[in-house]
Structure 1
Amino acid sequence: MNRLPPRPDFEKIEAAAPASADQRTAVLALIGNIVFSWSNNESLLIYVMMLLLDSDETTAAIVFSTLNTTRARLDLIERLSRANVTDRALAKELARLMERFNACTRARNEFNHCMYGLDEQGLITHTRSLRLELTRTRLQWGTERPMDETRLQEMTTLLRELRALNRDLWEFLPRLQTGVRTLSSRPSAPAAARP
């Protein structure tokens, strides 16, 4: 019993592919722009960390790159915000921006961590998630979603949100800079007793 899916007819797909190139180019351009915009937004977290850590850009970039997941970076920002942002309204605004970024991350991950299905004409017809999802009754793998007009509109909406988020982060950074407690303004810790 063969449990594998049927091998695609690569020769047939490749022969038909030139006629369907426009659709693939449009889909891949949307995915590329999503990844490009998301990456630019994530790199702005370096400046958020720089301000929250009261450090320089290089130090913040070292911290950023040492934390090898987006989730770890967002967790650090949340913790640093609690410790170093004295203005609660500013802290809430930062939290909302990070929630928006996290929502975009989930959507971006959908396109970075999936298999793309092609039909015999080379059209991208669907994606298949590479995530395990727990439903009420079972564990399922590989949720499929069609690459239809609705999906393309979702991708376009995501791209608009990523662009808006980028501008909102740039607008927020100067306010964060003035609202962060610096090392010189923090109360000093009591000296440790010597034996």
Structure 2
Amino acid sequence: MNNPTAQKPPKAFDAFLMRIGQINYAWTNTESTLIHLMAGLIPTDTSTATVIHLTLNTTRARLDLVERLAKRQDCPVSKEAVSRIIAICKQMKKLSGLRNRLNHCLYAFDSDGGPVRSIQMRIADRKNSLAFGAETILDKAELAEIDRALGAIQTLNEDVWSVVFDYAMPQ
């Protein structure tokens, strides 16, 4: 007979799940601020920009749109604003890698006290084979990386709002 308490996740597992939830909340909140950049760059109202934002179903598509709007010849904002917007998009793309890695995996723990780990749910096509199920140990270094990313996402949120306010984009 199995011991029902043997399947209880370790406290470290709960800490990682909490951080991943915080990353998701911060990311979704920050990604939604792209609506205001879209509204200022098109230019349009936030209701129309929201429809555009929701119609684009990936972060990458939304970031590509914002960057392309900023780079066009007849962009309605200053060169300084364009530089700041492109820097924001570049940083968001960089951080999206960690967020995607954390969201597109399974999480596992060893009931015998082994390390908490993530298992990637992505197929990598190789020349003559497939690779999948890459594991990452979720240790203190990984937790520190998640905390660093969380701080960077929060800073990005502030940066977007700064651009929106500094250049009087629709709120």
Question: TM-score per shorter chain, which class?
Answer: 0.7 to 0.9
Using the TM superposition, give the Cα deviation of residue 142 of structure 1 relative to its aligned residue in structure 2, in angstroms: 2.3
Q: Which ranges of structure 1 fall in alignment gaps of 5 or more residues?
A: 1-8, 179-195
Counterpart Cα distance in 2 of 1:53 and 1:82: 12
Question: Residues 13 and 116 of structure 2 are in contact (CA less than 8 Å); yes or no, is this contact kept in structure 1?
Answer: no
* Higher Cα Rg, which structure: 1
Q: What's the counterpart of residue 29 of structure 1?
A: 18
What residue number does 1:48 align with?
37
Letter aligned with residue 47 of structure 2: T
In structure 1, what is the Cα distance between the partners aligned to 2:153 and 2:64?
Answer: 20
Identity %: 31
1:56–1:122 distance in 2 versus 1, CA, 3 Å: farther
Q: Normalising by structure 1, what TM-score?
A: 0.76
TM-score, L = length of structure 2: 0.85
SS across alignment from 1:177: coil
- Taking only aligned residues, the RMSD between alpha carbons, in angstroms, comes to 2.5
- Separation of aligned partners in 2, 1:93 and 1:133: 34
- Amino acid in the other structure paired with 1:16: A
Using the TM superposition, name which of 66-75 and 29-38 deviates more.
66-75
Q: Which 5+ residue runs of structure 2 have no aligned equivalent?
A: none
Q: How does 1:1-195 map to 2 (within 5 A)?
A: 11-12=2-3, 14-18=4-8, 20=10, 22-83=11-72, 84-85=75-76, 87-121=78-112, 125-133=116-124, 139-177=130-168
Q: Distance in 2 between matches of 1:79 and 1:48?
A: 12
Q: Distance in 2 between matches of 1:116 and 1:122?
A: 15
Equivalent pairs, count: 167
Q: Which moved more, 1:98-107 or 1:83-92?
A: 83-92
User: Does the C-alpha gap of structure 1 residues 138 and 18 become closer, same or farther in structure 2, counting only changes over 3 Å?
Assistant: closer
Letter in 2 for 1:37: A
